[in-house]
Amino acid sequence: MQFRWFFNAVIIVVIFSFLISLQGCSYFETSDTADMNVPPIANSISSHSDIVLPSDLEWDSTKSMAINTDSFKGGLYHYSGRLDILSLKEFIKTSMANNDWKLVGEAAYKKTMLAFIKPNKTCMIMLYEGLGGSLGKTHVKLYVTTDLAAAKGLNPFGEPVK
């Protein structure tokens, strides 16, 4: 009889500990930072200093690639981290606007796509949640292109554009 009571008490403590661990440190945050799901510190990506992402996102080099030629610079960049997808979307929209990118399209279903342009530049950003939904990692894929020749008044073959 005593063993059964002890076993039930241990199970309750384990379940309670698990539930508390899901909350992390949210109980210890101040009211100013409790409403912020994305940290204010940010990093620019690769050789594109006008594209900024939260520092909590980690770059995955195995899923990324870049190309630099005389007339073109761009690439596919993959990042992931434990961030709220809606807060991340708002962070990206704000930081892109602050860096003079124009939002030209937004679509959402299971994934969210944001399309931005600048003169001679395009950036498409795909946001989606990985395994575990909101309990798992949020993934960010960026497709970035910069037409260097057009910025110099040249076509892709290096000839002047009239």
Encoded amino acid at 51, one letter: I
Distance in angstroms between the alpha carbons of the first and the last residue of the chain: 93
Write the pLDDT tens digit of every residue in 96-118.
999 999 999 999 998 999 999 99
- Could you give the angle at the alpha carbon of 89 between the alpha carbons of 133 and 33, nearest 5°? 85
R_g (Cα) of the chain, nearest Å: 22
* pTM, 2 dp: 0.66
Partner residues linked to 77 by β-bridges: 142
Instruction: Report the DSSP beta bridge partners of residue 52.
Output: 44
Token pair recorded at residue 133: 């939904």
Please report, for the chain, the start and end positions of each structural domain, with discontinuous segments joined by +.
Answer: 35-151
Domain 35-151 has CATH 1.20.120: no
pLDDT tens digits, one per residue of 117-140: 998 899 999 999 988 666 789 999
Closest CA to 77 of 97, 57, 104, 100: 57
Residue pair 78/63 in contact by the 8 Å Cβ criterion: yes
Residues 10-31, mean pLDDT to the nearest whole number: 53
